[in-house]
Each structure stands twice: as C-alpha cells, then as structure tokens.
Amino acid sequence: MKLISIFGAFLVLFTSCQQKSKDLSKVLYNQTKELEKISINISIDDQSLTSYSFISTYPKEDNKEYLYAYNRLTHSIDKFNIDNKTVSHISLATEGKDGVLKNISGLCVSNPDSIWIYSQENLYLINSIGKVTNSFKLPIPEGGFIMIDKNFSRSTSTFYYHPARNSIFYLAVTPNKDRTKYNICEYSILTDNLKSFEIEGNSIENKAGTNFGWKQMPNVTFTDKYIIYNYPISSNIYYIDIKTGKKNTVDGQSKYTKNLVSELTMPYDFQKADKHLLENVHFFEVIYSPKENVYYRLHLDKIASYSKNKEFNEQYESKNIYLTILDSNFHIINEQQLSPKTYNYFNGWGITKKGLLIFIENILDTSKNPDILQMDIFCTNP
C-alpha cells in the first residue's frame, strides 16, 4: 500500500512537470518566426583579417551598409562595404594629438564622421580619416574599474553612445569582500556628470564573481530605450527602462540545452577553469536589431566529452551553437541550432541592418579560404 502511494505521488509529480513543460513551450515558442540566412564573401587584402571581435555597422543614405571592424594587428579600422564587397582602411595614430591607445576593446559608429573608440579608460571620437575630434577619460566609481570588453570565457560588456541624451553608458565593476558589485554608469558629455546604479541577478547569478570559474561577470548591452544584461551562467535575461528605471526579468530558457552552469568555487587553477568552461553551457550577450525590432542571443552547449590530452581551442570550437530570437517584448519567437564547426566562437558577431552577422571561421573547418572574409547574416525580414 505504501509502495502504491509513493508511485501515485510520483505519477502526479510527473504529470505536473509534463504540464509545466508544455506550458513553457506554449508561452515561449507559440509565435515561431522563420529565420533566413544570407551568406556574404568579401575578398580581402593583405592588411585585413578573416574575422573580428570588435565591430559596428552603419547604413548609408544611399542604402549601402558599411561594416567597421578594429584590426588589432595594424591598429586600424577596417571598413567593409557589405553591398559591393570592397574594403578600405582608417589608420589610427598611436601618438600626438590624433593618438589612440592600442588594445581597443570598444567600437560604436554613430555616423561615418563620428566613430567612438574605447581603449584603456579613454574614449575617442574620430572622423572618417582617423583624426581625433574629441577625447576624454571615462570616470570610474571609487574603488572600481571599467569593464568594456568582449571575452568569450568571461563576459561581453559594450559601451553605448546615446544620441538623444548625449551620454555614454558603460559597466563599472567594484570588487569587495562579500560580493562584487556591478554598476551601470551614464556619463553626460555635456554636463560632465556621472550617474550610476547597481544591477543584480538572482541569488545564484550574484555569485558569478567567485563560484563559476572564468564566467565572472554579466553581459551588458544597450539600446536607446533599455539597459539589457544577462549572465553567461544562466538563461535569464534582464532589461531596465532607461527613463523609468523599471527592471524586468525574462525567463529565456533554451529548449535544447541546460539553462544553468554547474559551480566551480575557488581555489582553482587554469586547467580546472578551462575544463569547467568546456563542460558547461555559455550564454552570450543579448543584441538588439533595430530594423527588425528583435533581439538575438547566441549560446554554446557543453562539449560531448572532455579530454585533457586535446587542445583547448579544438574542444571549444567543437561545441554546438544555438541562436535564440526574442521579439520587441522579449518573448522567444525562435530558437535553433546553427551549423556546427563553422562559426567564430570568440565573439565574432554583431548586428547589421539586415540581422545578426556571424563570421565564418572555425579551427575545425579545414575548407576556410584565408583570402576571403566569410560571414552569414541571420534575419527575420530579409
């Protein structure tokens, strides 16, 4: 009798879980939108790269679109005309009145004559020929540091020039004994004032700085309307209305992979942190596509089987990659697996006027042509 009761309870629990799973699917995937893919190949010169991490795009008045990308080897901005498949270069000086520090980790194109560049706490505004028209140090909250970078293992945090407010938005990190604090800063170029406020996740996500190996910080992106952030360790998504300060939480669960990373607490060495990165999912930043009015998020699954005898990059780029699309209200409208062993997993993506651009470059793809910049653009409205 006791055995029957236990089985009955299990059956009720199982039925309940099934119903919850169905409800989740109904809520998240009831308005699936078809996804189109546009492939683009651009022949490159000996100064260009075959993929980039720091990119920005700008659609011209003549309806042509340009892809701007920082070239770390030549310290220049490589400018690709996506429509007629040509490339040109904007050389950056390192010294003098037009000097821009190397190791650029942020790029934001307002228009062809207003290109914002971030490097080592400094923000530069350059024109179309690389001349610096404005520059200043971004202020830092006391005891903290600025985090503007794209790091495949840690997080992606961008900066954003808000044209209507004439201000710069960015993330600042303040480590402390109990818990690392993350603050969104808004620096007014006009008044020189700095406003900041703390962002938080749930109780697990707030331990990201200590309990999850390399995955230590939130991903942060911006639009004219929202501050958007999420954590590499979790499928949750948060967005804050810039005007009202209202915070919203989105259950951005994947239907293909796990939605939470296992913990790796300190102390740990590099090998353990690399193993943890390979054996877990990783959620990248949420990026807004203005023309489509949708949001894109990429994430990687765990590897099939870890081997300490294989190279890290070989194992990392063998992971399966997934693309999630959310509508303007942050409802999931599509999620699908992309072609494996094809794309750049080291932050090689960005938004174009058509949709999400991902560079084709993977260590396991032996057919890659080194003389061509290859990319796929995924879009809902081709």
Residue 3: pLDDT band (50, 70, 90) is very low
Beta bridge partners of 134: 125
Task: Kindly state the average pLDDT of the residues 140-144.
Answer: 88
Please state which of the ranges 20-29, 128-137, 266-275, 331-340 shows the lowest mean pLDDT: 20-29
pLDDT for residue 341: 96
Q: How confident is residue 58, by pLDDT bands cut at 50, 70 and 90?
A: confident
**Cα-based distances in Å from 240 to 224, 229, 250, 259, 265:** 11, 9, 11, 22, 30
- DSSP H or E segment with residue 241: strand 236-241
Sorting pLDDT into bands at 50, 70 and 90, what band is 166? very high
Range 80-94 average pLDDT:
95
> Exposed, middle or buried by CB within 10 Å (0-12, 13-18, 19+), for 223?
middle
Q: 287: pLDDT confidence band, cut at 50, 70 and 90?
A: very high
Q: Which tens digits make up the pLDDT trace of 315-370?
A: 999 999 999 999 999 999 999 999 999 999 999 999 999 999 999 999 999 888 99
Average pLDDT, the chain: 90
Is the pLDDT at 231 greater than 60? The verdict is: yes
What is the reported pLDDT for 178?
A: 78
Task: Specify the pTM.
Answer: 0.90
Q: For residues 59 and 150, which has the higher predicted lDDT (pLDDT)? A: 150
Is 143's pLDDT higher than 70?
yes
On whether the CB atoms of residues 326 and 288 are closer than 8 A, the answer is no
Mean pLDDT of 259-283: 95
The pLDDT-based confidence of 277 (bands split at 50, 70, 90) is very high
For residue 163, whether the previous peptide bond is cis, meaning omega lies within 30 degrees of 0, is no
Helix (H) or strand (E) holding 372: strand 372-379
Q: How far apart are CA 198 and CA 218, in angstroms?
A: 12
Return the DSSP state at 246: -
Q: Exposed e or buried b for every residue in 240-252, given b needs 16+ CB within 10 A? A: bebeeeeeeebeb
Q: What gap in Å lies between CA 176 and CA 350, rounded to an integer? A: 33
At residue 18, the pLDDT reads: 40
